[in-house]
Chains A and B, each alone.
Chain A
């Protein structure tokens, strides 16, 4: 008879058609345009580095899960995102083996040894970056490439890869002062467009601000992220850079501050990584401001010209604290007399 032919499980019996896979692959898709532009800006090796990084991450994820006896979930796309982000935060002139190392650090140590997706405290890609900066400081801070002239990617193909070192705009300002920066890029606002499009030295995926923002806006439109973290990070970086980034108070260039370095990538694709950011909106705002403050502090006072990577890593473990501070607002508390009654 019919008995037992159908399924019995608990409510709700219908589910939204969102899934972890869908979210992750959408994020991957949003990272593709900045990558493509990066290939045009820096040449084909950025693509090679990214592919190496992605393949390493997926492989390390599969191997880690196999070794730890977990279900293999490489198809959910989260390792692909990590792979892309690792590539995005390294200079385009590094050795191709560097991202392999980064992948092991990010996925095996940063993700799986700490409990797997949902339990890792630190953003794996940024952990990898911090690790690579510590182990290969020279490559990570000097293997920059200047943007190619006039779509020179095609003439570039086949030429041997020499890291043509050149300072990133932030390093230039930090090491040689504003005068050297102006000498190379001109005075504001002439360089804004170049910077916004990504026509400047920098990490592989960081420079194309326009496409990063477009990707971020698409994620906002899909409801996968909310405005809280991007706005609080970018807003606080801009405000503090304007206030304290210049020779005198309130003479800094907030636009330059936001367009240089990895602020936009960090704000849209790293600081708001679900697993490592607070889940409460109020907590997210404070968290984003914390990242902004630390970024500007590191930029102005620290040894590195770039700050957002460490700022996010420093704030990551505080996420759960914010979640404990800011609880969702309960519908209505029990009446005092009946408190605790069930």
Chain B
């Protein structure tokens, strides 16, 4: 058996639980009567609305623009009228300013035509990516055009497409790779052109053999001397899809703490973000839809749904026939890093990749006890941090002293808390330490 690529230190292997939705083709959800579009969709500055109350907007029309700072514009996910400007429920920030659109039930979905991107220059392509409002659709939502424009003092030589999708349950990227492999590869070529480099590695975990097959075929079909695009099979290990771990796995390079991947000559994009780049450049379609995996034993009908940004969770639940009596917890994102939500009013954003409706048996709610110093969390941490020490210091009321244990290098992957036999809420302690230690 070939040895599979992975990062050397730490990581865990939670139950994959992808079978609920892996074989379900992406399904178009009907447009909800109302869409709540949060103005701050991602890291960086929130948008300022460019529309007025009662304005009629067409699908894909710009409705918000960044005035100051790092950000990308917002587009209307569907045709309709601007109903209100208000506050929306938000999984992380409790509430956030938003625009509500009353959609037009009679509007036809807008059609987009393919166009040839080859004649465009790197600058023109970059501008289009920005104009289409693209952010990293998998994680924190870093504006994509910024990643595509690395600082000139860090020459980039490798593009990595992240198809690892290492969080349990989520199959959105997987479906995207099966259904839009050629488009993703085309998107990769666009990125290579923007970056002015040749080499692209597509990392996919070994538990997605079908995706590996399709992507390999798509890469082969697109092969030219100009671009070297290849698929790399990765070992199934969480957090294989974390940027730093993925870069180390595929190139052996280590991104220093607090630095960007470009510091080691790499740019990483998620496969679905790459598809969004294709849509923006080839079709001229801005980013206002998301493929979202809806899964778990708490929902009547699990699915991979194409939903409009701004669709409320409640509309999704209604569309899928409601929840089951077993429902115990709702999570936006994966079970390792996602946020538990308290309200069904929360709308989907550009970075939502899954909404999980988990039953009691799928989650863990056991009470925690004192640390028994087993050291498992130290072994599990892919960053080489000391979660047990951070937690003990926070418990003892000394969060300021936790910098030495690497609290700011923690990206909250949750491996440490996953393995802890005493069920200590280590990530919670770490978040507290981060908040307290900063001020």
Contact = CB atoms under 8 A, between A and B. Distances in A.
Interface of A: 2-16, 18-20, 22-23, 71, 73, 76, 116-119, 274-277, 279-280, 327-335, 338, 341-342
Contact of B373 (A6, A71, A118, A342): A118
Given A13-B338, A274-B375, 5 more contacts: A8-B329, A13-B363, A117-B372, A279-B373, A338-B259
B366 interface: yes
A2 B14 CA distance: 29
Given A6-B329, A338-B259, A16 B418 contact: yes
A331 B383 contact: yes
A6 B336 contact: no
Contacts of B423: 15, 19
Nearest to B419: A16
A334 B260 CA distance: 11
Contacts, number: 167
Given A6-B327, A331-B254, A334-B258, A11 B370 contact: no
A20 B422 contact: yes
B385 A328 contact: yes
29 contacts: A3-B342, A6-B327, A6-B328, A6-B342, A7-B340, A9-B329, A9-B340, A10-B428, A11-B335, A13-B335, A13-B340, A14-B336, A15-B420, A18-B376, A20-B421, A76-B369, A117-B372, A118-B373, A119-B370, A274-B375, A280-B378, A327-B386, A328-B384, A330-B383, A330-B384, A330-B385, A332-B257, A338-B256, A342-B258
B100 to A, nearest CB: 20
Nearest to A334: B257
B438 A279 contact: no
A3 B362 CA distance: 20
B374 A274 contact: yes
Contacts of A16: 12, 14, 418-419, 421
A228 B206 CA distance: 31
Interface residues of B, number: 70
B358 interface: yes
Interface string B249-289: 00000111111000100000000000000000000000000
- Secondary structure type dominating chain A contacts: loop
A315 to B, nearest CB: 15
A5 B427 CA distance: 24
Nearest to B383: A331
Given A19-B421, A329-B9, A331-B384, A4 B371 contact: no
Interface stretch (B110-118, B158-166, B170-178, B406-414): B406-414
A279 B337 contact: no
B15 interface: yes
B342 A12 contact: no
A72 B284 CA distance: 65
A79 B382 CA distance: 33
B417 interface: yes
B40 interface: no
Given A10-B431, A11-B336, A274 B372 contact: yes
Contacts of A3: 342-344
A342 B375 contact: no
B323 interface: yes
Given A279-B378, A332-B254, A12 B336 contact: yes
B417 A333 contact: no
B350 interface: no
